[in-house]
């Protein structure tokens, strides 16, 4: 973990009440927090302003329903570290949210941290992982090897299972398909290949979709490709090996030794289900390096995934990249600006960049594209056409995309989205006057016509 100072530098200065509410893990805790944010319920609410190398800290006591009052403290890093004496299992709980909200509205007194807060800060400093642990590297390597072996065993089983499905016919598996998929997924969980388990379990969501046989065969074939690649992983080039082990669900960590500094444009954000948790990916594009980065974070149900940057902006930041999948994490955030629309490209060029990315990672599910001079076109499904009339169809579940049509107003715009094997998922748009609009917020849409 990096020094605390670099983690919050811009975050602390720009918190608005809305930024606080954005941390709410779900609408109900947000509503509860709104009710708890009444200054009348709080006593001894104070904060220690940010120092050169210390983030702001805010504390207070909130009257509970009975005689008890809850003691809350939060360190305002991104995401905030909160502690509250209430029994809620949500993070942040309504008390922490309400307290941060009071602070964002200027409702807390600046001052020295009281003793209990100082103690908490000290405990946390102790608990924070220090410089690289002098742990036994041999033991770690052994652990990883054992895990690789277990995953390999799981994959042997998956291979046999896939073989049976195709030998007996996908049509035969239709009736008890869910049960079979789920039990296979459970066995993969046992083999510590959780990510593959999610991928298998997701297939049971296909239901009776019209393209179910197509998608089942593509998925099974790509799983089989992964199994073959995993088996030969030690013969693969390092990048491909990393991709394969990563896709199989082995743990990886970001390379913090050489962070990449750039002005990163934040193209768009998408929330997706991932097994028992939910995930959020934010696509970045480096203006100088030309690199694509995906900030991926996961949170258990009831907690908000990390959102260190906001779509539509450009951030000066250091990113540490993971060995595969363009995944990165923010090591230091130096500044955030409003930004012009990204340059973008035509539909053909967008697909070409996807093809190139596919060569590095055939299991790629989503790839960021930015279409220049693009306009939505109604149809089944809708599509987005560039100036030359080349068009990318939207994902069936994203069509129709009325907010996109409303923002464009019949004029060409710059559209950012994720290209997937089944079509484009629009995420954000810059209209003809370069005004940014986020399309990610889940909105009600009129029924398909």
Partner 1 sequence: MTTASTPVPGSPPPAAGDWSDLVSAALVGTARRTVPAPSGIPHLDRGDPARTLLDRAALAAVRARAGRLPTRFEPDDPGGFEPAPPESAPLPPEGAARRLADLLDEDSALLLEWLELARCRGVRVPPESLPALLDRCARDTRRMAPALLAVAGRRGLWLAGFDSRWGYLRLLAAAAELTVEEWRSRPAQERHALLEAREPRLTAADEPLLEEALADRSARVRGLAMGLAARLPESRHARRLARCAGRHLRRGADDRPEIRLPDPADPELARVLGVEPRPRQAGGRSRETRLQQLWTLISHAPLDTWRGRLGATPADVAAFAAATDGELLEALANAAVLQRDREWARALLPIVLERLTGGHDVRASRGTALLALLPPEERCSWALERLRADRREPTPDTVLPVVKHVECAWTGGLGEQVAEALAGAERGDASVVQLCAAAGPRMPPSLHDRVVAGVRARRVGERGLEALGRLADTLRYRSRMHKEFR
Binding to partner 1 (CB under 8 A): which residues in 212-241?
A: 213-214, 216-218, 220-222, 224-225, 228
Instruction: Name residues contacting partner 1, limited to 26-45 (CB under 8 A).
Output: 27, 34-35, 37-41
Q: Which residues contact residue 202 at a Cβ distance below 8 angstroms, ignoring those fewer than 6 apart?
A: none
CB of 48 to partner 1, least distance (A): 25
CB of 393 to partner 1, least distance (A): 6
Of the candidates 103, 102, 105, 97, the one whose C-alpha atom is nearest the C-alpha of residue 22 is: 97
* CA dihedral sign, ordered 380, 383, 385, 390: negative
Residue number, 8 or 430, with CB nearest to partner 1: 430
Task: Please report whether residue 319 would count as binding partner 1 according to CB under 8 A.
Answer: no
CB of 127 to partner 1, least distance (A): 35
CB of 190 to partner 1, least distance (A): 23
Helix axes 238-248, 212-231, angle to 10 degrees: 120
CB of 400 to partner 1, least distance (A): 9
Candidates 109, 255, 271, 411; binder of partner 1 (CB under 8 A) is: 411
Residue number, 278 or 329, with CB nearest to partner 1: 278
Candidates 3, 127, 135, 355; binder of partner 1 (CB under 8 A) is: 355
CB of 137 to partner 1, least distance (A): 37
Is 161:168 a contact under the CB 8 Å cutoff?
no
Instruction: Name residues contacting partner 1, limited to 74-93 (CB under 8 A).
Output: none
Residue number, 55 or 381, with CB nearest to partner 1: 381
Task: Please report whether residue 176 would count as binding partner 1 according to CB under 8 A.
Answer: no
Task: Please report whether residue 118 would count as binding partner 1 according to CB under 8 A.
Answer: no
- What is the length of the chain? 449
* CA dihedral sign, ordered 24, 25, 31, 37: negative
CB of 437 to partner 1, least distance (A): 4
Task: Please report whether residue 416 would count as binding partner 1 according to CB under 8 A.
Answer: no
CA–CA separation, 20 vs 423, rounded Å? 34
Q: Note every long-range contact of 242-247, with CB atoms under 8 Å and residues 24 or more positions apart, other chains counting.
A: 242/323, 242/324, 243/324, 243/325, 243/360, 243/361, 243/363, 245/148, 245/324, 246/322, 246/323, 246/324, 246/325, 247/195, 247/196, 247/324, 247/325, 247/361, 247/363
Q: Which stretches within 22-136 are classed as H helix? A: 27-36, 94-104, 115-127
Candidates 132, 134, 238, 446; binder of partner 1 (CB under 8 A) is: 446
Q: How many CA atoms lie within 13 A of 137 on its CB side?
A: 2
Q: Note every long-range contact of 273-276, with CB atoms under 8 Å and residues 24 or more positions apart, other chains counting.
A: 274/198, 274/298, 275/194, 275/197, 275/198, 275/201, 276/300, 276/301
Residue number, 275 or 362, with CB nearest to partner 1: 362
Task: Please report whether residue 406 would count as binding partner 1 according to CB under 8 A.
Answer: yes
Number of residues counted as binding partner 1 (CB under 8 A): 83
Of the candidates 184, 196, 189, 194, the one whose C-alpha atom is nearest the C-alpha of residue 227 is: 196
CA–CA separation, 424 vs 416, rounded Å? 10
Is 382:364 a contact under the CB 8 Å cutoff?
no
Residue number, 78 or 383, with CB nearest to partner 1: 383
Task: Please report whether residue 166 would count as binding partner 1 according to CB under 8 A.
Answer: yes
Task: Please report whether residue 167 would count as binding partner 1 according to CB under 8 A.
Answer: yes
Task: Please report whether residue 18 would count as binding partner 1 according to CB under 8 A.
Answer: yes
Instruction: Name residues contacting partner 1, limited to 359-398 (CB under 8 A).
Output: 359, 362, 375-379, 382-383, 385-386, 389-393
Instruction: Name residues contacting partner 1, limited to 322-351 (CB under 8 A).
Output: 347-348, 351
Residue number, 10 or 383, with CB nearest to partner 1: 383
Task: Please report whether residue 210 would count as binding partner 1 according to CB under 8 A.
Answer: no
């Amino acid at each position: 973990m990096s020094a605390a100072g670099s983690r919050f530098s811009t975050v602390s200065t720009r918190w608005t009440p809305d930024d606080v509410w954005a941390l709410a893990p779900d609408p109900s805790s947000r509503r509860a927090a709104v009710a708890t944010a009444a200054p009348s319920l709080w006593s001894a609410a104070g904060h220690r302003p940010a120092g050169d190398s210390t983030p702001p800290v805010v504390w207070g006591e909130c009257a509970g329903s009975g005689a008890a009052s809850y003691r809350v403290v939060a360190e305002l890093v991104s995401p905030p570290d909160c502690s509250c004496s209430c029994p809620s299992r949500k993070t942040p709980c309504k008390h922490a949210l309400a307290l941060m909200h009071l602070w964002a509205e200027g409702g807390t007194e600046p001052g020295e941290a009281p003793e209990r807060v100082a103690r908490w800060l000290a405990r946390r400093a102790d608990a924070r992982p220090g410089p690289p642990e002098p742990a036994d590297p041999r033991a770690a390597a052994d652990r990883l090897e054992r895990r690789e072996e277990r995953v390999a065993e799981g994959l042997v089983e998956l291979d046999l299972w896939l073989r049976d499905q195709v030998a007996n016919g996908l049509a035969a598996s239709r009736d008890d398909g869910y049960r079979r998929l789920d039990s296979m997924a459970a066995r993969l969980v046992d083999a510590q290949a959780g990510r593959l388990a999610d991928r298998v379990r997701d297939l049971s969501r296909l239901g009776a979709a019209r393209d179910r046989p197509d998608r089942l065969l593509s998925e099974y074939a790509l799983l089989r490709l992964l199994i073959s690649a995993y088996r030969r992983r030690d013969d693969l080039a390092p990048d491909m090996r990393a991709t394969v082990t990563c896709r199989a669900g082995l743990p990886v960590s970001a390379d913090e030794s050489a962070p990449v500094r750039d002005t990163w444009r934040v193209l768009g954000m998408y929330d997706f289900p991932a097994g028992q948790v939910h995930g959020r990916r934010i696509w970045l594009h480096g203006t100088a390096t030309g690199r694509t980065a995906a900030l991926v974070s996961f949170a258990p149900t009831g907690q908000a995934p990390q959102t260190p940057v906001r779509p539509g902006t450009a951030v000066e930041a250091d990113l540490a990249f993971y060995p595969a999948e363009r995944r990165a994490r923010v090591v230091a955030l130096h500044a955030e600006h409003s930004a012009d629309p990204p340059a973008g490209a035509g539909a053909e060029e967008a697909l070409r960049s996807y093809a190139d990315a596919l060569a590095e990672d055939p299991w790629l599910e989503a790839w960021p594209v930015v279409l220049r001079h693009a306009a939505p076109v109604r149809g089944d499904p809708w599509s987005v056409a560039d100036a030359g009339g080349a068009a990318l169809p939207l994902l069936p579940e994203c069509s129709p995309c009325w907010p996109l049509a409303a923002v464009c107003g019949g004029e060409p715009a710059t559209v950012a989205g994720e290209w997937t094997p089944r079509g484009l998922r629009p995420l954000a748009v810059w209209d003809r006057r370069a005004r940014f609009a986020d399309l990610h917020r889940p909105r009600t849409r009129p029924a398909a016509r």
